[in-house]
Homo-oligomer: A and B are copies of this chain.
């Protein structure tokens, strides 16, 4: 018997492989499906079934890819949508996987046709529920995807799904959600990678409301939606292109890289650390730290640009995989040997000034010549507090609002730790700002010193 949670970092996405005897099934597979096929093989199982909890918005699913390789049957939730492959799930559908049994429960709310899947163990006991984006550890799914007009309706559906379908399964049933802490699909998901109905009833803030109406008011709010979500939704209806057919990003020497980057359509994306980018980078490049690729490339990288990556110098496999998970198949190459080779080739570089939080604290204390920019999300300001006098532009709005940032003052940018601030700095530099510094350590560093804060 096999029950395996597979995490995709960055997306904080969980998929699940279930197997027994010669058979296996996967729930909500990601696009790079080797891990499921290998695991099934290693256990002597045939991966014959793919179940989706909903039409995913934040990443490409690998359902069609698995079907191509193993001939698996693909079962979609959200059956009102025009899928071009697979077949729709119906409430009460059951799948036998060896001695295990999986049953579909209709649990709309996050999307109109979301499903959860209840797994019974070899002896027939209800054992675990795969809740997709209906129920997370410490949070519930977003209900704003149909827009403002439908929020209350969707929140009501979610309430009913939770209170009529999932919670009545019993406190002892294990809960396996589709996302964990850090996902863009929930604001405040807890770090428990595995939970239970009983724990969520006690510890999940979204399940502490006084009745349906209170729940609807509490969870029914508009959240930010990354611009790339729409492409994911479209791709997931059509089936993403096979990964095997995408050309391999080329190793490029500094001279080759420089030449490729002059192409009008090229965009240099720098996936190194914020410190390396600060010291030396290729002028005009966009900084996105590798762990943030899923979250921020989706915001700041136009889908039609030809990407050129700057990493540590070797093949940036992890970054390529992450970009492909959200549909960036147009990665033309990477700088082999990294910036050390670029610099040794005498090619042009730029830098971004950095300042430690203690230094920033002293500057704010002694001078008036500064313009402090806070790029955290509004929820963080509410929860953690703010620095007096700081201007607030959430990172996700920077491309529309950068004109608010002055060009004639010393601009200090901060976020939580310095990572997102460096992304914003790179975008401002692309727009010819030369008066900016990034505060290393960010708000977390700030509050660890004796520098003053105030509440939002």
Interface residues of A, Cβ cutoff 8 Å to B:
1, 3, 21-23, 37, 40-46, 69-71, 121-123, 125-127, 138, 170-174, 190-194, 196-203, 242, 244-245, 247-248, 250-253, 256, 272-276, 278-280, 312-315, 317, 333, 336-337, 339-340, 343-349, 351, 354, 356-358, 416-419, 440-442, 444-449
The one of B198, B247, B416 in contact with A171, judged by C-beta atoms closer than 8 angstroms, is B198
Q: How many copies does the complex hold?
A: 4
Q: Tell me if B275 and A339 are in contact (CB < 8 A).
A: yes
Contact A343 B279 (CB under 8 A): no
Q: Collect the chain B residues with CB atoms within 8 Å of residue A22's CB.
A: 251-253, 256, 336-337
- A-B residue pairs, 9 tightest by C-beta: A172-B198, A346-B448, A343-B441, A171-B171, A275-B279, A44-B336, A244-B244, A41-B315, A344-B444
Which residues on B sit within 8 Å (CB–CB) of A250? 46, 70-71
Max chain B Cβ within 10 angstroms of own Cβ: one of A71, A252, A279, A348: A279
From residue A274, how far is it (CB to closest CB) to chain B in Å? 8
Determine the residue in chain B with the shortest Cβ distance to A24.
B251
Q: Is the CB of B346 within 8 A of A445?
A: yes
Complex contact A445–B125 (CB within 8 A): no
Residue among A1, A23, A171 having the largest count of chain B Cβ atoms under 10 Å: A171
- Indicate if the CB atoms of A69 and B196 lie closer than 8 Å: no
Given A121-B191, A172-B198, A343-B441: 18 more A-B contacts, CB < 8 Å: A22-B337, A41-B315, A42-B315, A46-B252, A69-B248, A71-B248, A71-B250, A122-B190, A125-B203, A171-B196, A172-B201, A275-B275, A275-B279, A275-B339, A280-B440, A344-B441, A344-B445, A346-B448
What's the nearest-Cβ distance from chain B to residue A281, in Å? 9
